[in-house]
Amino acid sequence: MAIASIDFQMLANAGFPPACYAAGDVIFAEGDRGDAMYVIRNGEVTVEHGGRVIETLGGGGIFGEMALIDGSVRSATVRAKTDCEVAPINEKTFLFLVHETPFFAIAVMRALAGRLRHMNEP
């Protein structure tokens, strides 16, 4: 699921710099405490559950949004498939983005709804 374009420079200027991961790095693991979601600036990540890849995401993709929204533990492991750069979005950053670009919240909700619909497919 890709999200509407995001101004990564605006985030960096506001004190929310990107994070870089090398291919193979685990960004977070299933069961970890979650307090941030991520937007992929470049590269690819895999979302894994129960030892199998359930989704591969590229530039503009988001992941980790469920834990940010409900404060629960991670329901999947996310691993860098390639070298990648992501923007960590904690609650403070999320509120900043919603204030600066209100469509951001709708884009996150659409991505979440798309994932739920995909999970319900046979």
Residues 65 and 78: their CA atoms lie apart, in Å, by 12
Give residue 5's identity as a one-letter amino acid code: S
How confident is the model at residue 3, as a pLDDT?
62
Burial class (CB in 10 A: 0-12, 13-18, 19+), 32: middle
The count of other CB atoms within 10 Å of the CB of residue 98 is 14
Judging by DSSP bridges, how do beta strands 26-28 and 36-42 pair with one another? unpaired
The model's pTM: 0.85
Question: What is the residue extent of each domain of the chain?
Answer: 8-117
Output the CATH code of domain 8-117. Answer: 2.60.120.10
The count of other CB atoms within 10 Å of the CB of residue 39 is 29
pLDDT per position as a tens digit, 42-73: 999 999 998 899 899 999 889 999 888 888 89
Mention every residue, 6+ apart, whose C-beta is less than 8 A from residue 60. Answer: 2, 3, 4, 5, 6, 39, 40
Mention every residue, 6+ apart, whose C-beta is less than 8 A from residue 75. Answer: 30, 49, 66, 67
How confident is the model at residue 122, as a pLDDT?
66
